[in-house]
Amino acid sequence: MVHVLRFADRPPAKSRTIKFEGGPYGTGVSFFAVDNNPGEGPPLHVHPYSETWIVKRGLGRFTAGDEVLEAGPNDIVVVGPNVPHKFLNIGTDRLEVLCIHDAPEIDQTNLE
């Protein structure tokens, strides 16, 4: 079976970020395709599984536990389960990050 989820068919949203949960489609992977303006980013949060970030555009400051690092286009950042993390667009242009969740549903607990 194959599924195509058309961008044009998604419900109107306040943000450009796309959320996909794989469970209903028979896959164990979910993701956010994040598109943030300068100064934007998610609050500090945790997941009970690992998360992998692929930076497609822009410059981000990534915090994972006590570590803080910068990542840009085509950099890959991986954070383990239950590690508090967040990122922030520190560039002057949009930050596009694919946030891959190793789970069929996104399970996020915000800490801020």
Domain assignment of residue 2, yes or no: no
- Taking the CB of residue 30, how many other CB atoms lie within 10 A of it? 22
- Taking the CB of residue 17, how many other CB atoms lie within 10 A of it? 16
Q: How many domains does the chain have?
A: 1
Q: What is the CATH number of the domain that holds 42?
A: 2.60.120.10
Query: What pLDDT is recorded for position 39?
Result: 98
Query: What pLDDT is recorded for position 10?
Result: 75
pLDDT in tens, 30-66: 999 999 999 999 999 999 999 999 999 999 999 999 9
Domain assignment of residue 8, yes or no: no
Q: Which amino acid is at 3?
A: H
9 contact partners, CB below 8 Å, separation of at least 6: none
Domain assignment of residue 7, yes or no: no
pLDDT band at 97 (very low <50, low <70, confident <90, very high): very high
pTM: predicted TM-score of the whole model, two decimal places: 0.90
| Residue carrying the six token digits 């536990």 | 65
| Residue carrying the six token digits 């009970």 | 48
pLDDT in tens, 62-92: 999 999 999 999 999 999 999 999 999 999 9
Domain assignment of residue 56, yes or no: yes
Domain assignment of residue 11, yes or no: no
Containing structural domain, residue 52: 16-84+92-106
